[in-house]
Amino acid sequence: MKLIPIPAFVDNYIWMLHDGRRALVVDPGDSEPVLAALQDGGLTLETILVTHHHNDHTGGVDALRQATGAKVYGPALEHMPEPLTRLNDGDVIEVLGLHFEVLLVPGHTAGHIAFFGQVPSQDPVLFCGDTLFSAGCGRLFEGSPAQMLTSLTRLAALPDATRVCCAHEYTLSSLRFALAVEPDNADLQAYQAKAQVLRNQHQPTLPSSIALEKCVNPFLRTHLPSVAHAVQRQAANATDAVSVFAALRTWKDQF
């Protein structure tokens, strides 16, 4: 199985997974780059996975369905381009011979889902949409800080080797904020240097991994004194897990 981030718009990635013949794509906001990748690879699109309703993740679904006949899967609780198979937390689907578990991860949107899959002889893969970014997390457009904290904690509990396939190339900007929170974090410093080299070469910084994110992502580290104390210097009333997370997200929004 080959995992490919297809660039779209300014900073989106449409993830493609294929076996050399059959392919799935995740969150195709634009059909054109997907159709081009299919043609270049001689691939047949069988499946479209959608994590949430925002147009930069769904805008290409109808055109791809019409062009390829691909089957569409998406969240049960959000408005989606019909027809599709709607998925709830804990559902398991089989696509390309792989099993993907559906995780309900509200916060960025109310019904956001993620897809966690085991790939034979490879590390697991997580398609997390806009819930988790490398060194960051999505804005809280519809959900609460408590919901997003629960969602991120759930993702952080996945196997360390899991490949984290975020839907945006936000890594460098997220790292700038993360270093403002934890300026002495050596893992952050090393990751920033590596990510900068990749972007200078016009290469993606993704996928990340759960192991790396637990070392560098402040939104997965709010339980640690180094993060909590930094947040409390910004918001003295941040005293429990949820208020620390909420204050951290507000700090990032204003950064």
How many Cα atoms within 13 Å fall on the side-chain side of residue 14? 32
Q: Is 54 a catalytic residue?
A: yes
Catalytic residue among 18, 53, 57, 112: 57
Q: Give the model's pLDDT for residue 122.
A: 97
Q: How does the average pLDDT of the chain come out, rounded?
A: 97
Catalytic residue among 18, 52, 53, 112: 52
Q: Is 53 a catalytic residue?
A: no
Strand arrangement, sheet containing 125-129:
92-95, 98-104, 113-117, 125-129, 163-166, 208-209
Catalytic residue among 18, 53, 108, 112: 108
Amino acid identity, position 100: F
Catalytic residue among 54, 91, 112, 240: 54
Residues 231, 235, 237, 241, CA torsion sign: negative
Catalytic residue among 27, 130, 184, 240: 130
Given pLDDT bands bounded at 50, 70 and 90, which one contains residue 87? very high
Given pLDDT bands bounded at 50, 70 and 90, which one contains residue 2? very high
User: φ, ψ for residue 7 (rounded to 5)?
Assistant: -65, 145
Q: What is the pTM of this model?
A: 0.97
Q: Is 108 a catalytic residue?
A: yes
Tokens of 239: 């005293």
Q: Is 91 a catalytic residue?
A: no
Given pLDDT bands bounded at 50, 70 and 90, which one contains residue 30? very high
pLDDT tens per residue across span 201-247: 999 999 999 999 999 999 999 999 999 999 999 999 998 999 999 99
Q: How far apart are CA 106 and CA 75, in angstroms?
A: 11
pLDDT tens per residue across span 112-165: 999 999 999 999 999 999 999 999 999 999 999 999 999 999 999 999 999 999
Q: Give the model's pLDDT for residue 218.
A: 98
Q: Is 27 a catalytic residue?
A: no
Q: How far apart are CA 180 and CA 184, in angstroms?
A: 9
Q: Is 223 a catalytic residue?
A: no
**Percentage, residues of the chain above pLDDT 70:** 100
Q: Is 57 a catalytic residue?
A: yes
